Structure 1
């Protein structure tokens, strides 16, 4: 036991002496070249390797850090751009909506003779043989069939079907529609009828104009007031072309509507009007004397005794 303790004491003493010598040699490394060179040769590989490892670790961490920061930066940039673009789109939509509503308000204020209800367009059904759309106003809003539908740029159509909270509008482009018009030019004032054309859905026609009727390309058409649906004086369109009928007895005029039907978003329904419709001349029935043929064969549609 005593022998083992002596060995341990000797080992500790020798170790302390070696460490002391190494410390002295390190302090005197500039004075004792052979010690310095030897230490540097022994430690250089380890120092170089450690430096390379640490440098690679630092570089890797830097690359990862840069990539992560770059990813977050790009994502934040994309989100910021998307947010700004959405805000810009919302602002443009608000501006466009304000412009439309201002036009509607100005139109309503400039036509005190009409009581009008504004409505939004919710669906459209534009085709070859039909031209209608649905609005978000109905029976609960006082909407009734045959009420005229207009916008500041002119006539749109009339109400055909009414539901509790919506209604269907048939435009005058519909082939089933007909609207009485007058040429606004003072030298003419020619009256006629404009109908939709299924072959050319966007180009209604003023039909059956007398061959010598005073109509010119560029003439402006307004509603005549006949028929009881459209008040007199509303814009309809302009004459773009005049063609003779195949039979040669009458001519037809192609019309370009003043309303852009593909851009309709809000419309007015004229619920009442103080504009008087043209008075119809009273007609007294006149009986045509029966001919001898009628007396013998009987009137068409009647049963002979």
Structure 2
């Protein structure tokens, strides 16, 4: 069964080795990783003519050139004798080797590879991942290092010499259907799906440390706490009527001396803002733009008519004059 989809992570564009490729090399790499007949081991049969038909401006000659670039950059392994191609580190970054149901599919796909050079590369990769290599590391593969010379695309190899028979199509993925493709430019993603800094194609990914959990417990007001510039800017925009420095001192002294559960806060900046808003609300109520006159003691200190008039707004004084005039007309009519 052919694969129906592939995952290409956006982190590919942060990989220096990948960005060093030409546009044609990058496009061909993406094309190889998304082929429906790529095996669980990352192996494809050479289909140069078919790949050249995927875009109207692509030719078999340009495909061969791009393959040579990818091979020189160690993104792929090509065996011109067996007409097979391996996307290097495919198994590692596909991240299916840890799945008990997926491991047999990957191993079986590797065992079906004919190329000794590709088997040698897969053996090195399997040893790194802790996968069994029985049936993969034949005598030739085990005796030669992964960096040994291997059959490849010659610089001027005629395209017509490669057969276009797709002998490996679907051979390794028949048991469970879909193979998720990721190239050597991506790392296994943690559970929060945040992309990580990507290693090179040949460097194992270091295990990512779990992100520290944010504390949800409140803390006491630090002894050196001061309002930030942001808080000063916020207060300036509110145009408070009280002495901000004095109110800030009251805020700090109150919470430094407070005890109990209420003495801790999750966010002291927000607590400071709330304090200042409440301080403004506790001022005497406004009316007409002026503070209402508030006696300091007893009825004997009630404001006189002149004091009251001077503290009223123009609208209040106008209303008082109108009521006084109406009262005068009423007295005259009665008399």
TM > 0.5 between the two? no
Higher helix share: 2
Bigger Rg over Cα: 1
Q: Normalising to structure 2: TM-score of the pair? A: 0.19
Bigger relative CO (Cα 8 Å, ≥ 6 apart) = 2
TM-score, normalised with respect to structure 1: 0.20
Q: Which structure shows the higher strand fraction?
A: 1
